Amino acid sequence: MNNKKQNSALKVNEGIQQPPNINPYLKFKKKNKIQSPEFYVNGILEKDLSILSQAITIVESNLNEHRLIARSIIQKCLPLSGNSFRLGITGVPGVGKSTFIEYFGQLIIQNNRKVAVLAVDPSSERSKGSILGDKTRMESLSVNPNAFIRPSPSGCTLGGVARRTRETIILCEAAGFDFILVETVGVGQSETVVFNMVDMFLLLMLAGAGDELQGIKRGIMEMADIIAITKADGDNVLRCNLAANEYRNALKYLPLPESGWKPQVCTCSSTTGHGLNELYEIIQNYIKYTKTNKTFENRRKKQAKHWMYESMFDMLKENFLTNTNIKQLLKNYEEKVILNKINPIEAAEIILNRYYENFIKK
C-alpha cells in the first residue's frame, strides 16, 4: 500500500529552497544615513575623503534639514580653512583644461601640496550634464591619495553653484587640501563667479584661433593673472610662441589688475610637460608678490564681503520664490502679462507689494 503511494504520479517531490525575491544584503547597501555635524567635522579633520564627500553632498543639498547641518559643518570648518592657495582656471572647451589639470595637479603634489579640483559649470544647469570636473578625464590624478576631485554641483542656478563651490572650498581646506583648483568654461558669466572666489586667475588659450573664435571676451583677459598658450608641442610650438607675443602686446593696452601684478604670458604642453614647471614658478612669484604688498589678504577680505552680499541676495530670492502664496500669484500674473492685460512693471510692483505685506505681517 505504502509502495503504491510512493510510485503515484500525483506525488510531489520536495524541491530545493528558493532564494528570496529581495536581496537580504540590500539593507547593508542603504544610502548613507545623515549624521550629526560633529561626525562630518571629525571625519574631515581626520582627512577621511569618503566623509568629506558625504559632507559636500549635504552642502550641495537643497533640503532644509540638510541646510541646517551644512551650516553647522561650515561654521566649524571655517576657522580651519583659508591656509591655501586658490587658483581659477578657465578656457574654452577643447583648450586642454582637464589634460592640463591632470598633469599640473601631479606637479603640485610633487611639490608637497595636496590638491583639490572643483568645477563651476553652468552647462550642468541647462543640459543636466556636466562637462567639467568629471573624474574620468583625470585618470591618474583621481586615484592619487593627495588629490580630491569633485564635479560641479548641478540642478541649481549659477549663484547656487557659486555658493556651494565656496562652501566646498572651506571643507576641502579644513581637510588639508592646500592647493585648490577651480575650473570653469570661459564663455559666459561663470568666470566672474570663479574670479570672485580665487586668489589668482589662469586663462588657457589656443594658438592660431582668434579671440573672437575662442569666444573670449576682453573682460576675461582683464581678469587673467597668467595667460598660458596650450598644446605647445610638435609643429605647434612656433605658432604658440607667436601667439604668446601677440598676447604680451595686447596686455600692454589693458589696465593692470588691482594687485599691481603684471600679467604673465607663457606657453605649455601637457603632452611633453613643457612650461609646466615655469608656470608653477610664476604662481610662486605671484604669491610672494601679492603677499608682500598685502593685496592677497585684501582680495580675500573683499571676496568675503562679496560673499555676504551674494548669500543675502540668494536667500532673499529663495525665500521669495519658495513662498506658496507668491508662487500662485506669479502664475496668475504671468498669464495676465502674456495676455497683455497688465504691463510687466505694474505686475512686478503688485507681486512685490504682496510679498512685503506678507513679510511684515510675519
Binding residues for ligand GDP, per CB under 6 A? 91, 93-99, 230-231, 233, 269-271
Closest CB to ligand GDP among residues 127, 328: 127
**CB neighbours (10 Å) of residue 254?**
12
Supply the minimum distance, in Å, between the C-beta of residue 230 and ligand GDP.
6
Closest CB to ligand GDP among residues 142, 323: 142
Q: Do 267 and 228 meet the contact criterion of CB atoms below 8 Å apart?
A: yes
Supply the minimum distance, in Å, between the C-beta of residue 186 and ligand GDP.
9
Q: Which long-range contacts (CB under 8 A, 24 or more apart) does 134-142 make?
A: 134/98, 137/98, 137/99, 137/102, 138/98, 138/101, 138/102, 138/105, 139/102, 140/102, 140/106, 141/101, 141/102, 141/105, 141/106, 141/115, 141/117
Closest CB to ligand GDP among residues 56, 185: 185
- For residues 248 and 266, give the distance between their C-alpha atoms in angstroms, rounded to a whole number: 9
Closest CB to ligand GDP among residues 52, 206: 206
Q: Which of 129, 131, 149, 130 is nearest to 139 (CA)?
A: 149
Nearest residue to ligand GDP, by Cβ distance, number only: 96
**CB neighbours (10 Å) of residue 28?**
7
- For residues 48 and 25, give the distance between their C-alpha atoms in angstroms, rounded to a whole number: 25
Closest CB to ligand GDP among residues 91, 263: 91
Closest CB to ligand GDP among residues 37, 105: 105
Q: Can you tell me which residue has the cell 513662498? A: 323
**CB neighbours (10 Å) of residue 181?**
26
Q: Can you tell me which residue has the cell 598633469? A: 103
Q: Which of 164, 98, 152 is nearest to 123 (CA)?
A: 152
> Roughly what angle, to the nearest 10 degrees, separates helices 295-322 and 158-174?
130
Supply the minimum distance, in Å, between the C-beta of residue 112 and ligand GDP.
25
113-123: string of b/e by CB count within 10 Å (b at 16+)?
A: ebbbbbbbbbb
Closest CB to ligand GDP among residues 55, 220: 220
Supply the minimum distance, in Å, between the C-beta of residue 92 and ligand GDP.
7
Supply the minimum distance, in Å, between the C-beta of residue 193 and ligand GDP.
18
Supply the minimum distance, in Å, between the C-beta of residue 118 and ligand GDP.
14
Supply the minimum distance, in Å, between the C-beta of residue 131 and ligand GDP.
7
Supply the minimum distance, in Å, between the C-beta of residue 162 and ligand GDP.
20
At 69, list the grid cell. Answer: 547641518
Closest CB to ligand GDP among residues 87, 170: 87
Q: Do 202 and 225 meet the contact criterion of CB atoms below 8 Å apart?
A: yes
224 phi, psi to nearest 5 deg: -70, 135
Supply the minimum distance, in Å, between the C-beta of residue 185 and ligand GDP.
8
Closest CB to ligand GDP among residues 35, 99: 99
Closest CB to ligand GDP among residues 14, 235: 235
Supply the minimum distance, in Å, between the C-beta of residue 103 and ligand GDP.
8
At 203, list the grid cell. Answer: 586663462
| Type and span of the H or E element at 67 | helix 64-77
- For residues 182 and 133, give the distance between their C-alpha atoms in angstroms, rounded to a whole number: 9
